[in-house]
Amino acid sequence: MKKINSAAAPLPNPWIIKWKETGKVVGYFCSYIPDEIIHAANILPVRITARGHKETTYGDAYLSRLNCSSAKFILDKALQNQYEFLDGLVAFNSCDHMRRLYDNWKYKVKTPYLYFLSIPHHTDEEAVDWFINELKNFKASLEKKFQVQITEEKLRSSIQIYNEMRHLLTELYEFRKIEAPKLSGIEALTITTAASAIPKEDFNNLLKQILKEIVNREGIEGKPRLMLIGSILDDPSYVKIIEDLGGLVVTDSLCFGARYFWNMPDTSENPLENLAVKYLRKSPCPRMIDRGSDYKVRKEFVLKMIKEFHVDGVILETMKFCDFWTAERFMTEKPFKELGIPLLNLEREYVTANIGQMKTRVQAFMEVLE
């Protein structure tokens, strides 16, 4: 776990620094961006986070008090030139907060390559066809800027490497299903956040070693089994607070967690088409508004995880001012209550701070579950 911990360290981590000696690095904001395409260009894709950053002085100057703190912390770090290791940045129309982050980044931060990828909010055949064309344009842009050729063979190879990662992470989660899970929620989130911050080949090798070590571990018993769902969460210290109070996070529906790797694209025939289908039709986050069916898919995914991982209670964490997850919270409360699933709603900021109230509410929730 020591190497994984360093991989999940604030950006740039040691792997990025080493890669930069001979290679290029392109950052991206969201798990809906198919970073296999970046990988196929022999460029290191890194999901942008502001883990470890402590202030929003500059971010507050460009974003309003009604913007989410995730966008503010990332922009603040960018304005302090702490993403200078990036050779490029890819953004997309995820939410208004991240779009405003990108708008300010584009004009205030010197990054050699910027690309805005448009991703549909729907998942029907027309949307898939449209997204395939967007991915073709993105691929062509990378090829032109970095003077590389991204062949179908290279794309298939990248998809295979990513699918190995997805398979290994799924295997890791199997150790959380059992009666006495063999890893904590802190460890699990540390591992999944590291997956988008180092070369996939290195990550796969590290994870294989971890899986061998976990087999011989003693299991964790006698704790309420929790599922964590909600807004962007890349900080394992948030999970630590929950687990220090007696709970055990055994699964999740997070974009840095299960939703990042749960679906695997096909490697046959047209790789761009396979990527378009995989990313549009994975377990969706609330940005997807496919005539209400996406909420049904999200709900079914969560209920499936609750059953398979023997969950006792669900914690829905919502980033303050996150429009999508705030709406999702209200849509979730009633059906969960009707199904008799204990649910705790927690509002939070990007950086874990002022945790007194959170501790009180989590402790009370643990008592209910016990």
Q: Do 94 and 201 fall into the same domain?
A: no
Quick: pLDDT tens for 78-113: 999 999 999 999 999 899 999 999 999 999 999 999
What Å distances lie between residue 266 and 126, 148, 180, CA to CA? 20, 24, 34
Phi, psi of 324 (to 5 degrees): -65, -50
| Average pLDDT rounded to a whole number, residues 52-64 | 94
Write down the pLDDT at residue 114: 98
Q: Do 101 and 67 fall into the same domain?
A: yes
Q: Do 265 and 181 fall into the same domain?
A: yes
Q: Which CATH number is 44's domain given?
A: 3.40.50.11890
Write down the pLDDT at residue 220: 97
Residue 129: pLDDT band (50, 70, 90) is very high
Quick: pLDDT tens for 253-282: 999 999 999 988 877 779 999 999 999 988
Q: Do 314 and 198 fall into the same domain?
A: yes
Q: Do 225 and 362 fall into the same domain?
A: yes
Write down the pLDDT at residue 266: 76
Asked if 212 contacts 153 with a C-beta cutoff of 8 angstroms, the reply is no
Q: Do 319 and 340 fall into the same domain?
A: yes
Q: Which CATH number is 280's domain given?
A: 3.40.50.11900
Q: Do 219 and 128 fall into the same domain?
A: no
Write down the pLDDT at residue 90: 98
Q: Do 53 and 161 fall into the same domain?
A: no
Q: Do 214 and 143 fall into the same domain?
A: no
Q: Is the pLDDT of residue 326 over 70?
A: yes
Dist. CA 267–CA 369, nearest whole Å: 43
Number of structural domains in the chain: 2
Residue 353: pLDDT band (50, 70, 90) is confident
Q: Give the domain-ending residue among 133, 151, 169.
A: 151
Mean pLDDT of the chain: 94
What does DSSP assign to residue 13?
P
Residue 178: pLDDT band (50, 70, 90) is very high
Write down the pLDDT at residue 349: 94
Q: What is the 3-state secondary structure (H, E, C) of 17-82?
A: HHHCCCCCEEEECCCCCCCHHHHHCCCEEEECCCCCCCCCHHHHHHCCCCCCHHHHHHHHHHHCCC
Q: Do 189 and 74 fall into the same domain?
A: no
Q: Is the pLDDT of residue 370 over 90?
A: no
Q: Is the pLDDT of residue 157 over 80?
A: yes
Q: Give the domain-ending residue among 151, 181, 211.
A: 151
Domain hosting residue 336, numbered range: 154-369
Write down the pLDDT at residue 61: 96
Q: Give the domain-ending residue among 151, 184, 209.
A: 151
Q: Do 164 and 263 fall into the same domain?
A: yes
Residues of the chain above pLDDT 90, percent: 83
Q: Do 223 and 100 fall into the same domain?
A: no
Write down the pLDDT at residue 268: 73
| Average pLDDT rounded to a whole number, residues 177-203 | 97
Residue 292: pLDDT band (50, 70, 90) is low
Neighbours of 149 (CB within 10 A): 8
